[in-house]
Structure 1
Amino acid sequence: MELTPEQLVAEFQDAVMELYFARKRMVALEAENAELRARLAALGQQDTAEQQGNR
């Protein structure tokens, strides 16, 4: 299948937009992941402190 120059440009623009939104989603997921890791670490520290207090 051969595309016209206009179709190639349209395909390229679509690909750029998909990459833009994928990058935005990736940044949001990275932020969510960092928040969850921090919460998990805090819970781990809390559990460790409680276990040491029960000794």
Structure 2
Amino acid sequence: MTAIRPAEFQQPGASVLARIPQHDATALTKGGNQALIILDEQIYQLRITRAGKLILTK
């Protein structure tokens, strides 16, 4: 899967992608490297690696 950079949302034909909610991972982690995400009473951990990749685990 390829990450989509915000500038690509401005290109013609990207209107479908522009309607998808966007969240900055560094904002979710409040500048750190971890955040907890809750879905249907299940807790997931979002981590930003040193290489700048995202890992989501249950």
TMscore range, shorter length: under 0.3
TM-score, length of structure 1 as denominator length? 0.20
TM-score, length of structure 2 as denominator length? 0.20
If you compute each CA radius of gyration, which structure gives the higher value, 1 or 2? Answer: 1
Higher share in helix: 1
